[in-house]
Structures are given as C-alpha cells and as structure tokens.
Amino acid sequence: MTDDRTHAASSPDGRTFSLDAGGPTVAPGDLLVVQHPADPVLGQVVGPSGGVVLGSLADGRFARAEIGGFRSAPAVPATAEDLAAVQASTGAGVTIGTWRTGAVEAPARLRAQGFNRHTFLCGQSGSGKTYALGVLLEQMLLATDLRMVIFDPNADFVRIGETKAETGAEDAERIGRLDVRVLGAAPPAEPLRMRFATMPRPAQAAVLRLDPLADRDEYNLLVHTLSAHHTQPRGIDVLIEELLQGGADERALAQRVQNLGLDAWEVWAGAQPSAAEIVAEGPRVTVLDLAGFHDPRESTAVALDLVEKLWAQRQTRTPTLIVIDEAHNICPATPVGSIQTLLVERLVQIAAEGRKYGLWLLLSTQRPSKVHQQVLSQCDNLVLMRMNSPGDVAEIADVFGFAPPAMIGAAPYFRQGEAVMAGQFAPCPMRVRMGARLTFEGGSDVSVPISGH
C-alpha cells in the first residue's frame, strides 16, 4: 500500500526501473529514492513508466555502484539533501543556478573537472543563451585557474571583467584581480591584430587564396620570398612594396594581394602585438571582439591565426577553454572561402585531438544544424535551452544520447533561462534555471521605439 507521495518501483536488472500506475505525477528528469532491500537507490525518471538507476544513496553519500534487482520497492521523491549529496559525492561544486526535481529546488552545481571535455550550448533567440554562457564563464573564472580565449562576434563579453554593484564583495574582489584583456577593432578595446609573416604557410596561402598546385608559380614565389627573410618578419605592406620592385612574377603576386584588398585590412599588427602574442603573455581571459572590421574576412583570419597558434603550442599542455559564441559563424557546417575552410579544419582537429593537450571547446549557437557535425559530435557536455524547431530537437536527441530524450523533448516549453544540462560536467542530467550574472553583458537587443501619440 502506498501513500500519495510514494510509488512502487521494480527493477529486473538493477539498471532500469518501472513504476506502478499509482503515486504522484512525475516528469522526465525527476529523481526518486527507492527503498532497496540493501541500501537506498537513486533513480531518475526518463519516461512516464520508469527510468534509470543512477546508484546507491546511503548515509548521505551517493555512489555509482552495482545494484541488484528489486521488486515492488517504495520510491519517494528525492529531497534537497539528496540532491546535495549527489553533487557533493560527484565533485560538483560550481554553482550556476537552481536545480529542480519534482517540487524540490536546490542549488545546481557542475563539476569543474567535467569541462575537460568539449561543451555545446544551444538555444534559440530569446532563450537566455548568451546570459547562460556568461554565468558559466563567470563561475569557471571563480572556481578554476583555467585560461580562457573568448571569440565574441557580438561584443557580449567585452565587460566580463567588470562586476555589478550587487555582486558579492568576495566575488567582485576575485574577478577584479583577474588579468582580462579585451581586443577589438576600435577603442576602448586594445587593437585586435594578426601577423601575416608568422602565420603557418597553409594559413598564409589561405589568406592569399593560393593553391599549391593550381597556383604553382605564385605559391612557390611566396615560399621563397618569405623564407629568404625569415629572420626579419615583414608585414603585408612591406611585402607588396618589395614585390612591386621585382620581375613579372613578383608583380603578379603583389597584384593578387592588392586585388584581394588585403592591403586595406586594418587587422595587420605592424608594430603592435598580435592577438596570438597577447594570449601567449598569459592573461587569464582574452576576449576577441570580432565585430567592427570593414571586411568580414578580417575577423575570420584573426581567428584562424590565433587557433593555429594555440594548436602549434599544444605541447605546452596549458589548460585552455576556447569559447566560441555564435559558433555557426566561426565553425559553420559548410565553410565558405579558403580562410574559413582552414579554420574549420583546425577546429575539427582540436575537437578530435585537443583534449589530450588541454584544449577544450565551448560552442554556443542557436541551431545545431549550422555547426560543423564533426565538431558537434565530439562534444560530451550539453546545455540545451528553449528550442522550438522539431528538427533541431530531434538532432540534439540523436547526437547527445547521454541526455534522456524526454528531457530534451521538453525544450520547446522551457521558459527563458531554463536549461537541461547533461554530460561529464553534470552529476546527472538536470533541469536548471540559470542564476544571476556577476558581470555586465556587453551587448543588448535594440528595443522598439514606442510612439508617444
């Protein structure tokens, strides 16, 4: 006999369980504590008739242990103390909001060590995606010493070093001590620049749209021209001047540079440090404000230059979180042009091999289908916010099989700021409401002007 808070749960294998038809209403993601004959068992509902066994929950400690089968054992909703035990036992200590299961709410915490996997954050416009990304980054700044490089196409994170008045004094003081460098096309940011002469040869060729076979003469000339002066790296302007003074082949290469408009790019470093050089100096956070360049190829090229440098320096094994907001612009499913193609190829390589070198991606976008699939499929952490498109929801469920499909299927009904979090950084799949931001958001939506008549 069960009361109105109790289910009867049964499990033939100790891995999954079924629920009787009675008891209170449960939703996908809810946690139940089953009174197993040996030790209490923690289970998570994944559908209307049952769920999965997560592990044992005895003496206030959670463990992912082997569980024997059981028959018709009472199952009651987990308490806030149970949620705290799960998080403490799995090392989840990064507080990012509120975790709700059934009628119970508790602080939602993630595992900092779980960010040594690639992470995918997805939500349609208005879901709170950028706000949520800011919460994650702020809390990782407080909880870890992880170096961050943030590709920021909309200037949303240019003020991540500036705390709000309501931020607690301790957190404000810790964030205020961080070395945060903001690079952009215009003041007050530091200049966002790249250096052509120190780019890898394939990257130089991509900028010049040179193919080593189709453009054999010009490519070979580029190789020998730069190799002959490798001890004195030169900028594009000096290179053009020298080439124009040479023979027909040299002048042809100079004309290519001019015809592509590269001599008018603002992104060349000259006497200023490049973004890659600034990151190498060791700031805790480097924000690259990619907006503001007249030629959109400039932002792609500077992203390529920095990603290439991070990969070239991978043997240092410096733990680095590479954050790519609006990832469909930098790592699209179908890259366009030689620069973007090479950039995506390198990001695919980082997605496949970067973990062992301490290079981890955090991708944020509105549509999973717009991000390159070879990068998306390597992500072991998921943050899913409101998503109305049935096709997008189905794709997320297909790619991220570690998140219960029924929890993902509820994405069209999420309120702003709500998310499902699952993967290596979560103690178990969670329904979360994001907490408050500590720093200012750089960008904002444009409001509709209201007539006074």
**pLDDT at site 453:** 59
Q: Cα–Cα distance between 416 and 314 in angstroms, integer?
A: 38
Domain check: are 42 and 68 in the same one? yes
Contact 52, 44 (CB under 8 A): yes
Q: Cα–Cα distance between 425 and 368 in angstroms, integer?
A: 20
Give the closest residue to 27 by CA, choosing from 381, 424, 420, 396.
Answer: 420
Domain check: are 190 and 220 in the same one? no
Task: Say if 203 falls within a structural domain.
Answer: no
Relative to beta strand 180-184, strand 190-191 is: parallel
Domain check: are 254 and 154 in the same one? no
Task: Say if 353 falls within a structural domain.
Answer: yes
Which residues span the domain enclosing 225?
210-259
pTM of the model: 0.93
List residues bridging with 122 in a β-sheet: 365, 384
Task: Say if 311 falls within a structural domain.
Answer: yes
Contact 32, 45 (CB under 8 A): yes
Domain check: are 423 and 336 in the same one? yes
**pLDDT at site 450:** 65
**Domain total in the chain:** 3
Domain boundary among 225, 259, 293: 259
Domain check: are 252 and 281 in the same one? no
Q: Cα–Cα distance between 24 and 1 in angstroms, integer?
A: 14
Domain check: are 253 and 280 in the same one? no
pLDDT string in tens for the chain (453-residue length)? 344 567 899 999 999 999 987 667 889 999 999 988 788 999 999 988 899 999 999 888 999 988 888 888 999 999 999 999 999 999 999 999 999 999 999 999 999 999 999 999 999 999 999 999 999 999 999 999 999 999 999 999 999 999 999 999 999 999 999 999 999 998 899 999 999 988 999 999 999 999 999 988 888 888 887 665 544 556 677 778 888 888 888 888 889 999 999 999 999 998 899 999 999 999 999 999 999 899 999 999 999 999 999 999 999 999 999 999 999 999 999 999 999 999 999 999 999 999 999 999 999 999 999 999 999 999 999 999 999 999 999 999 999 999 999 999 999 999 999 999 999 999 999 999 999 999 998 765 555 566 665
Domain check: are 15 and 143 in the same one? no
Q: Cα–Cα distance between 308 and 395 in angstroms, integer?
A: 30
Domain check: are 147 and 278 in the same one? yes
Q: Cα–Cα distance between 65 and 434 in angstroms, integer?
A: 30
Domain boundary among 58, 78, 98: 78
Task: Say if 22 falls within a structural domain.
Answer: yes
Domain check: are 305 and 409 in the same one? yes
Domain check: are 139 and 253 in the same one? no
> Residue 172 is part of a domain; what is its CATH number?
3.40.50.300
Per-residue burial over 280-296, b if 16 or more Cβ lie within 10 Å, else e, is beebbbbbbbbbebeee
List residues bridging with 378 in a β-sheet: none
Domain check: are 226 and 348 in the same one? no
Q: Cα–Cα distance between 171 and 142 in angstroms, integer?
A: 7
**pLDDT at site 3:** 46
Task: Say if 93 falls within a structural domain.
Answer: no
Dihedral sign, CA of 75, 80, 83, 89? negative
Strand order from edge to edge, sheet including 320-324 = 104-111, 92-101, 430-434, 418-423, 379-384, 118-122, 359-365, 320-324, 147-152, 285-289, 180-184, 190-191
Task: Say if 444 falls within a structural domain.
Answer: no
Q: Cα–Cα distance between 21 and 95 in angstroms, integer?
A: 36
Task: Say if 15 falls within a structural domain.
Answer: yes
Dihedral sign, CA of 397, 403, 408, 410? positive
Q: Cα–Cα distance between 44 and 24 in angstroms, integer?
A: 15
Q: Cα–Cα distance between 255 and 342 in angstroms, integer?
A: 23
Task: Say if 453 falls within a structural domain.
Answer: no
Q: Cα–Cα distance between 114 and 27 in angstroms, integer?
A: 26
Contact 93, 109 (CB under 8 A): yes
CA atoms within 13 A on the CB side of 185: 17
- According to DSSP H, which parts of 228-326 are helical? 236-244, 248-259, 275-280, 296-312
Domain check: are 172 and 314 in the same one? yes
